[in-house]
Structure 1
Amino acid sequence: MSEFILETRGLTKEFKGFVAVSNVDLKVRTGHIHALIGPNGAGKTTVFNLLTKFLPPTAGSILFDGKDVTREAPAVTARRGMVRSFQISATFPNLTVLENVRIGLQRRLGTEFHFWRSAKSLDVLNDEAMALLEAVDLTRFADTVTAEMPYGRKRALEIATTLALEPRMLLLDEPTQGMGGEDIARVVELIRKVSANRTILMVEHNLSVVANLCDRITVLTRGSVLAEGSYAEVSKNPKVLEAYVGSDDIGDAHH
């Protein structure tokens, strides 16, 4: 196991002459919760799309666990253990919460399950699915139709279906977006819990969440890395404060 599970070197993405991501060197330490923050338009989502192969880079390379995965197919990289929560979490709204997690487990086990679907094989999955629901505090929603779940709990289900794939590194894109305080607190606890034996890279706009949760923070602005360090370090950095003026105020993370 390498010290850095994920590394980018000179990662660059241009769209018709516009440089969305410029020469980004990112090092995510194994076992850390690492946040990518920055004002709107800083290139955070584009970096995620490059990491998960939604987009090919114009230049630069991506290393996962020491292997160059830059030109690899998205599914191959996902099988190595780098999984983005929303990649798979088109959860099926008309299925129950338990059924959704079971589908996540079937994906991991491959299609052989679809053929010899004896009741016994599905029971094995049920036990595992219930254990995952317990991990994300959704046991009592097991038989709820997903569409009828409270908004904040849907995010927990998305994380549960992602955990079914046994990722080594989890990419979370704005996990608290659109949530009220109570849901945010619950999701923060959930992320802390599931980070126990894996690495997490998250894009997050809510700075109090970042302050509470993250070991290391990379600040992007206009597609480039502006600063990196602990929350205490980056929140005092004059360049970071300046970049945030007129968007979020990083000095007052409790909005």
Structure 2
Amino acid sequence: MAQDIILATSGLTKEFKGFRAVSGVTLEVARGTIHALIGPNGAGKTTCFNLLTKFLQPTAGTIRYKDRDITGLKPADVARLGLVRSFQISAVFPHLTVLENVRIALQRRRRGDSFDFWRNERVLRALDGEALDLVEAVGLSDFAGHQAVELSYGRKRALEIATTLALDPEMLLLDEPMAGMGHEDVDRTAALIRRVSKDRTILMVEHNLSVVASLSDRITVLARGQVLAEGDYATVSKDPRVVEAYIGAGHA
């Protein structure tokens, strides 16, 4: 039986003044999986990710989500369809509490781009139950009353994921979720990603290969803007082209 493909690209290409950052990328992400996009520095991962999340428009090629052509849509349009990039919302306000931040994200989902800052506290408190559920889901129950500025870097990332989950995405795109984290925060965030993936599809760009190995069902390797290899970690890690690409770029 063919896999149920939730996100697919065909011939995806992006040129910047004659330079091809992404060239003819064909990608298929199966529903309900964790799919990693990896590659050495300069491979085109970030550009590809920005194309998928509509922060860039492709020079050529198509992007389909749930069998709908979304190539020409804007980021807010694809978010409303259930394809959401974590950290794009920036709904983390440093001097509001964890609970208040998540509550604001819930307001956005319910009311589009407007916020209810002017509404009375009783009306806003009606969102607390759902907000607390999300806070618990990302392991921040003990910090619900703490201001975001007081959180460690890893817990701030968890809060950002909570604000993303408030939009109830069917597919979550994570851009280097482990960047800048120490071992403890990496382990905590990896467990969080595994937990939230149970009823969602996840596509992530990640440099930490041990995290990629432990989390990913499938991996696409980019090099020089093109797909170099694809498969599970055992397959791609033994591919001589992948080894050469990483070593050649100064990666062990």
TM-score over 0.5 for the pair: yes
8 Å Cα contact 2:171-2:200 kept in structure 1: yes
TM-score (norm 2): 0.95
8 Å Cα contact 2:103-2:128 kept in structure 1: yes
Gaps of 5+ in 2: none
Could you tell me how far 1:186 is from its partner in structure 2?
Answer: 0.4
8 Å Cα contact 2:91-2:163 kept in structure 1: no
Say whether 1:248 aligns with 2:251. Answer: yes
Aligned pairs for 1:60-209 within 5 A: 60-110=61-111, 114=116, 117-209=119-211
Distance (Å, rounded) in 1 between the aligned partners of 2:236 and 2:30: 18
8 Å Cα contact 2:157-2:177 kept in structure 1: yes
Distance (Å, rounded) in 2 between the aligned partners of 1:61 and 1:164: 28
Structure 2 letter corresponding to 1:28:
V
Distance (Å, rounded) in 1 between the aligned partners of 2:15 and 2:37: 19
Could you tell me how far 1:12 is from its partner in structure 2?
Answer: 0.1
Matched residue SS, 2:199: coil
Matched residue SS, 2:41: coil
Matched residue SS, 1:28: strand
Structure 1 residues 51, 170: closer, same or farther in 2, change over 3 A?
same
Could you tell me how far 1:120 is from its partner in structure 2?
Answer: 4.2
Could you tell me how far 1:113 is from its partner in structure 2?
Answer: 7.0
Matched residue SS, 1:31: coil
Find the counterpart in structure 2 of residue 12 from structure 1. Answer: 13
Could you tell me how far 1:124 is from its partner in structure 2?
Answer: 2.4
Once superposed, which parts of structure 1, at least 4 consecutive aligned residues long, lie more than 4 Å away? none
Structure 1 residues 236, 173: closer, same or farther in 2, change over 3 A?
same
8 Å Cα contact 1:43-1:221 kept in structure 2: yes
Write out per-residue CA displacement over residues 130-189 of structure 1, whole angstroms, 9 at most, x where no aligned residue. Answer: 110000110111111111111110010010000000000000000001111111000000
Find the counterpart in structure 2 of residue 253 from structure 1. Answer: none
CA RMSD of aligned residues (A): 1.5
Could you tell me how far 1:92 is from its partner in structure 2?
Answer: 1.0
Matched residue SS, 1:154: helix
Distance (Å, rounded) in 2 between the aligned partners of 1:117 and 1:90: 18
8 Å Cα contact 2:22-2:226 kept in structure 1: yes
Number of aligned residue pairs: give it: 248
Matched residue SS, 2:126: helix
Matched residue SS, 1:25: strand
Distance (Å, rounded) in 1 between the aligned partners of 2:115 and 2:21: 42
Say whether 1:55 aligns with 2:49. Answer: no
Distance (Å, rounded) in 1 between the aligned partners of 2:156 and 2:116: 26
Distance (Å, rounded) in 2 between the aligned partners of 1:77 and 1:164: 15
Say whether 1:34 aligns with 2:38. Answer: no
Distance (Å, rounded) in 1 between the aligned partners of 2:117 and 2:42: 47
TM-score (norm 1): 0.94
Distance (Å, rounded) in 2 between the aligned partners of 1:189 and 1:89: 22
Distance (Å, rounded) in 1 between the aligned partners of 2:72 and 2:87: 21
Could you tell me how far 1:248 is from its partner in structure 2?
Answer: 2.0
Distance (Å, rounded) in 2 between the aligned partners of 1:235 and 1:90: 37
Structure 1 letter corresponding to 2:22:
V
Gaps of 5+ in 1: 250-255
